[in-house]
Amino acid sequence: MKVLKNPPLYKKVARAILDMIQKRNFDSPTLPSEESLSELLGTSKHTIREALAELSSLSYISRRHGRGNVILNSVVNTNFRIDANMNFLKILKQAGYKTSTEFTNLHLESAKFHDSLDEDYYVYDEIVKADDKIASFHNIHIPVRLFPADFNLNMKLDKDLFDFLATYGVYSLHSIVEFIPEVVNDKIAQFFCIEPNTPINTWEEYIHDQEDRLVCITKIRFNPELFKLRMVRKDFKTI
């Protein structure tokens, strides 16, 4: 006989807190204190802590020392999500490729790039190679406001995006990714050494920091000969 198990109490409490966040029950960008939540939900502070840790692990909140539990609305408002920890270089290395990364120089653009980034921004490209082939091409836009006034635009980039942002005190916490199919033009086809009009996998990644501010938009194009973007699904229920 199949034994039905109730979810642990902290998971029920985490669901209740998330429901209140989604219903905009909290006026502040941060959650009430653990003591207040304990009184509100009629449970122990220990259970509240476990519930908050659960919400943090799912990126619904950011637990900040001195700030409390910051609500990450960019994640809360993402109704359909597939979560993944993905490191492109690690994936390629596991497939047996020798990897390398090249960076173009930064340049300033003032034209409106996207509705979510209506301001001046710096742009550069990151090119990930597998052996002698280009595996992915990353076009990166970062708002000028994130850099010091005396920032040297001629600096040579030698690190990936997240390390680059961290150099200026911007720590990326999570990103929202939109998958966008694309048929490549002649320029991109030549770049990847594939036929023009080949369909490829493309995504736009909206990167947020600890305060849930949008700090970067990256468009990533994947070489279809190297990246199939397969995903392993798990957690099927057994009868």
Q: Tell me the mean pLDDT in the region 197-218.
A: 89
Do 20 and 97 have their domain in common?
no
Q: Is 72 within 8 Å of 60 (Cβ atoms)?
A: yes
Query: Domain range holding 149?
Result: 88-222
In this structure, is residue 83 part of a structural domain?
no
In this predicted structure, the answer to whether residue 31 has a pLDDT above a threshold of 50 is yes
Give tens-digit pLDDT for 33-54.
999 999 999 999 999 999 999 9
Question: 63 - beta bridge partners?
Answer: 69
In this structure, is residue 233 part of a structural domain?
no
In this structure, is residue 14 part of a structural domain?
yes
Sign (positive or negative) of CA dihedral 81, 83, 88, 91: negative
Do 31 and 132 have their domain in common?
no
Give tens-digit pLDDT for 226-237.
887 777 776 665
Do 66 and 107 have their domain in common?
no
pLDDT for 3 equals 47
pLDDT for 144 equals 86
In this predicted structure, the answer to whether residue 85 has a pLDDT above a threshold of 80 is no
DSSP E strands in the chain: the ranges are 61-64, 68-71, 99-103, 107-109, 121-130, 133-143, 172-179, 182-183, 199-200, 202-209, 214-222
Q: Which of 165, 128, 173 is nearest to 146 (CA)?
A: 165
163 contacts: CB under 8 Å, gap ≥ 6: none
Q: How far is CA 168 from CA 146, 161, 215, in A?
A: 7, 11, 12
Residue 142, H or E segment:
strand 133-143
Q: What value does the mean pLDDT of the chain take?
A: 85
Give tens-digit pLDDT for 152-202.
777 767 777 778 778 877 877 788 999 888 999 998 899 899 999 999 989
Do 161 and 188 have their domain in common?
yes
Do 53 and 108 have their domain in common?
no
- Residue 66 main-chain phi, psi, to 5 deg: 85, -10
Do 140 and 170 have their domain in common?
yes
In this predicted structure, the answer to whether residue 120 has a pLDDT above a threshold of 90 is no
